[in-house]
Structure 1
Amino acid sequence: MINEKITELISQHENDLIALRRYLHENPELSSEEYETTQLIVEKLNELGIPYKKTNPTGVIAEIKGGKPGKTVALRADMDALPVYELNRELEYRSKKDGIMHACGHDAHTAMLLTAVRALNDVKEELQGNIRLLFQPAEEQARGAKWLIDQGAMHGVDNVFGIHIWSNAPTGEVSSQVGPSFAAADIFKVTFKGKGGHGAMPQQANDATIMMAQYVNNIQAIVSRELDPLHPAVVTVGKMSSGIRFNVIAEDSFCEGTVRTFDSEARDTIEAKLEEYANAIAAMYHADYTFEYDRMTDAVNNEEKSAKLIESIAKEAFGEESFKNLVPTMGGEDFGFYLSNCPGAFATVGCANEEKDTCWAHHNGNFNIDEDALKVGAELYAQYAWAYLKEKE
């Protein structure tokens, strides 16, 4: 299952892999603005003679043509950074752009896939099929996967694989599991419109703050009383605004939150109930309301055969103890859109090392990775593609 030449090639290029990741970390770009990153990828592909097309507005779709006929497997890496101030002041390769940082590891993903591409290109004549390469923008906005799919990324693809570096697991630990691993992530927005007035004369007003307080408190009952308890879900209100002054009764109030689910029926129920509760509260207070619900990402639901292939590769390539079943997370990942198009699976590669101070949460300004994990991720990308194409139906 494991191609020893791939292992050797990635080991030979480990220093280049680390240098590439550091360069990307120093030069982060926000979602939909990854122009320099896109150009860097194009230059690397040109050096290897791999055909590609740029996607709009950013991103790259490329393909390694194997020397033998067969299936097509897609490998995906996201490439966008976050509007986060880097707090790693002593880091020699810290972000050069104040307020923009690779705080989720997408710099590592891009560097790992480019290194895997280098190795796979060296063995392309032995490949039994083709490898589609997806360098995806705007994952943090949950839009990039859809953009690439709309621009032909999954046309003719038989299987798709992606990786996320993971600071919740020790360096080098590979995780995946059959079924749901990352949740569907949605956003909802609610506005109540009442009637403003003086705080000393409440009888003349219709207080939108009270409406919103009732709403935020009551919607938690959707999870605890409206859903099957065997179908986990989260409803979180992360933003609220109401009022302009201490003695002015608020005319308007607003809240914004997120819903996380694995089950489509639970997702439908929550969306319907969130609006139902808003409607009921508005009616009770003789007010108006608006409701918006945006389904941002689908759940990442790993196909059984693909998830088992990840496990087999990890154990053979990195040792029996290297693999753990992934505990599902309510975090969102737009990789789920690829899995809605064809079979495949998603894996995490641990990068946490207390001695190197790389155990910080994703999206934290102190986030960093143990770079020993990079070689594991690069090889996992390459060996998955190799093994999948070698499989018999």
Structure 2
Amino acid sequence: MIHAKIKEAIQKYNEELVELRRKFHREPELSWEEFKTTAFICEYLENLGIPYRKTEPTGVIATIEGGKPGKTVGLRGDMDALTVEELNKELPYASLEDGKMHACGHDAHTAMLLIAAKALNEIKEELPGNVRLIYQPAEEVATGAKAMVKQGAMEGVDNVFGIHIWSQMPTGKVSCNPGPSFASADLFTVTFKGRGGHGAIPQACIDAAVVASSFVMNVQSVVSRTVDPQQPAVLTVGKMVVGTRFNVIAENAYIEGTVRCFDPAVRDHIETQLKQYAKQVAAIYGATAQVDYVHGTQAVNNDEYSAKLVQKTASEAFGEEVVYFEKPTMGGEDFSEYMMEAPGSFALVGCGNPEKDTQWAHHHGKFNIDEDALATGAELYAQYAWAYLNDK
């Protein structure tokens, strides 16, 4: 199932692959601001002779048309950066934009998918089918994939495959297990309204700070006491804004948080319980509560056939020892939007190497990747496409 010319091409273009990744890393662009990256991708594909169209406002959809009839496989790479200050100032390719950084590896994803496209384009006459290339913006705000689907990224696609570089795994390892991979990721806000007043006269007030604090402490029991312990779930309050002055009892309190799980029924249960807790806690103190619950990304659940094909492809391309089991993460990924249109899988490619100081967590200011992982990711993209199109 492995195409020798793909492997040769990836090796031949490895230096270019590294340079592409470093270019994107030096020039990070935030979600929905990836104009320069989009323009570069378009020019790169045009030079390869691969038909493409720019999506709005950013992003690119392209198709490599095979020389033989067959299915269509989609390959996705995201390209947005984060509002994180680069702490790796000593790197020759450190971010040139203050307060912006590729702290999650999307620079690597874009570079890998460009070189994969280059390799696949060289054997396009042999392809029994087509390869859809999806260069996606705005993954970090969980709206990019939905916009790309709406603009036709998945039209005619039979199977879809994505990769995330992963610093928590050793360099070169590949993990793609059937079933849950990334959790659903929702946002909730709670606004408590009490009655403000002088800090010296609490009996005349309803202290929103006390109400909000009580909610934060008690709402954790939604997971610990109402969800099956064998069903992973996380409820996190990440922001609380309350009060205006040291001697004024707060009238209002505002809370933001997130809910992560894998099971849709658990998701609905937590939403119901969270709303009930907020209103009941407020009622105890004589306050009121307004809860807004926003469904973000769906859970990423790898299709069994597709995940096993990834494992087989990785094993044949790089050796059986690269196949790795990484447990599901409670992180969110909007790749799930593509999998609602067609079956597919989402693989992790390890890039963690303490000797190169690339073991830092994603979204950290010192995040970096072991660039030896780039060739693994680029080849996995291309070899998976070849394997899927040839699998009868």
Coarse TM-score class (shorter-chain normalised): over 0.9
Aligned: 1:222 with 2:245: no
Deviation of the 1:325 alpha carbon: 2.1
Q: How does 1:121-200 map to 2 (within 5 A)?
A: 121-200=121-200
**SS class of match (2:131):** strand
Equivalence for 2:59: 59
Partner amino acid for 1:100? K
Q: How does 1:247-266 map to 2 (within 5 A)?
A: 247-266=247-266
Partner amino acid for 2:178? V
Equivalence for 2:357: 357
Aligned equivalents of 1:102 and 1:208: distance in 2?
39
**SS class of match (2:183):** strand
**SS class of match (1:135):** strand
Equivalence for 1:386: 386
Partner amino acid for 1:315? S
Equivalence for 2:291: 291
Equivalence for 1:109: 109
Aligned equivalents of 1:380 and 1:338: distance in 2?
19
- The runs of at least 4 aligned residues of structure 1 exceeding 6 Å deviation read none
1:273-315 per-position Cα deviation (integer Å, ceiling 9, x unaligned): 1111111122222222211111111111000000000100111
**SS class of match (1:164):** strand
State the TM-score, normalized to the length of structure 2: 0.99
1:125-167 per-position Cα deviation (integer Å, ceiling 9, x unaligned): 0001001000000000000000000111111110000000000
1:48-93 per-position Cα deviation (integer Å, ceiling 9, x unaligned): 1111111111000110000111111000000000001100011001
**SS class of match (1:367):** coil
Partner amino acid for 2:244? I
Aligned equivalents of 2:226 and 2:327: distance in 1?
25
Equivalence for 1:243: 243
Aligned equivalents of 2:365 and 2:283: distance in 1?
44
Instruction: Flag structure 2 segments of 5+ consecutive residues without an equivalent.
Output: none
Q: How does 1:328-339 map to 2 (within 5 A)?
A: 328-339=328-339
State the TM-score, normalized to the length of structure 1: 0.99
Deviation of the 1:370 alpha carbon: 0.6
**SS class of match (2:270):** helix
Instruction: Flag structure 1 segments of 5+ consecutive residues without an equivalent.
Output: none
Equivalence for 2:16: 16
Aligned equivalents of 1:228 and 1:340: distance in 2?
26
Aligned: 1:343 with 2:343: yes
Equivalence for 1:73: 73
Percent identity of the aligned residues?
63
Equivalence for 1:47: 47
Aligned equivalents of 1:290 and 1:143: distance in 2?
25
Deviation of the 1:203 alpha carbon: 1.2
Equivalence for 2:204: 204
Partner amino acid for 1:104? C
**SS class of match (1:131):** strand
RMSD, matched Cα? 0.7
Equivalence for 2:28: 28
